Amino acid sequence: MSKDLILEINNFSLSFIINKQEINAVNDVSLKVEKGEIVGLVGESGCGKSLTALSIVNLAPQNSFVVQGEIKIHDENVLKFTSKQWNERRGNDFSIIFQEPMTALDPLVKIGNQIKQTIVIHNKEFKKDKIKLKQMIIDMLISVQLKDPELIYNSYPHQLSGGMRQRVLIALALINNPCLLVADEATTALDVSVQKQVLNILSTMNKDRNLSILFISHDLGIVKNFCDRIYVMYAGAIVESGKANDLIENPIHPYTKGLISSIPSFSKRGSTLSTIKGNVPTLLKRTNTGCPFVERCLISKKICLSEKVPQQNYNNRSLYCHLIDLEKSIKEKYDE
């Protein structure tokens, strides 16, 4: 493993038992995040992005179970951690921020005390120095661009706006200076102006702290200008990955092509936006045979229905598709 590799997921699969049947929700996922890198994981709702994120920090639903694979942070397989190790490392070496801060924050505890608890759990020596402890929290609230940090410190979550609460979550996640931040749909519930503020904060933290970020979103319009590399996920599987600019400017997989074609832009004003026909299959309708995108793909062949999708390295891209002449086939169908 490279010394600059912070997160490495190898052939990870996660399943549920539904009606006494094993249902695969995340299928053979592999991805990596290097030191100081911002990596996007994108796809429609229901594709398994959040399940992957929750698995990294051991917060996946209790009725789920790991089928295979490993999740390494700093070359340690976290899937083998004991409860004690999770308590020591989560919130310290790696952290997560969620889409809805109102459910992630304790409504009965003031902001300052919530952040204080996170520090003291991992750094007991600060418990004795209350002045230094408070100053650390105030400094962190300032760093996430919260005005009047003293007021925020003494406020309850319901007294803050959605954007302010999301910035508090970022402060809470970064107060112990982790090496990895998992941001699970962290900007989805915010309006456009607040989204931009939150992204600016994360970008600054990435540069100032050399922080590695796995940024999970269904919005390619946001991810394309924020991430260094992108993984595209569909129905529990990675279908394409590559450098952000390359992938956005020249999508190859039919699903990636469809997602990018549906991004609104000024050049498309007045015209009907492209859409991908159908919906992401539910867990009960998924199979592990053939390509997961076959039912919605405009260029699928018989082989796509029955044979496992191979990985191909194509035009500096990691790609999962049966078709050989990919670029030509997809461009002819999607650009016609």
- Domain borders along the chain are 5-93+178-334, 102-177
Separation CA 158–CA 154 (nearest Å): 12
- CA 336 from centre of chain: 33
pLDDT, tens digit, for every residue of 228-247?
A: 999 999 999 999 999 999 99
Cβ atoms of residues 95 and 182 within 8 Å: yes
**CATH assignment of 5-93+178-334, given 3.40.225.10, 3.40.50.11810, 3.40.50.300, 3.30.930.10?**
3.40.50.300
Rg value, the chain, Cα: 21
pLDDT, tens digit, for every residue of 109-147?
A: 999 999 999 999 888 777 778 889 999 999 999 999 999
Instruction: Report pTM.
Output: 0.91
Number of H helices, E strands in the chain: 13, 12
Separation CA 110–CA 117 (nearest Å): 11
Mean pLDDT of 259-282: 79
Neighbours of 229 (CB within 10 A): 19
Among 265, 264, 238, 240, residue whose Cα is nearest residue 250: 240
pLDDT, tens digit, for every residue of 9-39?
A: 999 999 999 888 899 999 999 999 999 999 9
**Alpha-carbon distances, residue 235 vs 18, 110, 276, 279, 306 (angstroms):** 17, 39, 14, 10, 16
Mean pLDDT of 165-177: 93
Q: Is the pLDDT of residue 268 over 70?
A: no
| Mean predicted lDDT score pLDDT of the chain | 89
Query: What local confidence, expressed as pLDDT, does residue 270 receive?
Result: 65
Mean pLDDT of 80-84: 94
Place of tokens 């200076």: 177
Q: How confident is the model at residue 97 (pLDDT cuts 50, 70, 90)?
A: very high
CA atoms within 13 A on the CB side of 133: 19
Q: Is the pLDDT of residue 1 over 80?
A: no
Separation CA 229–CA 240 (nearest Å): 11
Separation CA 185–CA 70 (nearest Å): 23
Neighbours of 3 (CB within 10 A): 9
Q: Which amino acid is at 251?
A: P
Q: Is the pLDDT of residue 328 over 90?
A: no
Query: What local confidence, expressed as pLDDT, does residue 214 receive?
Result: 98
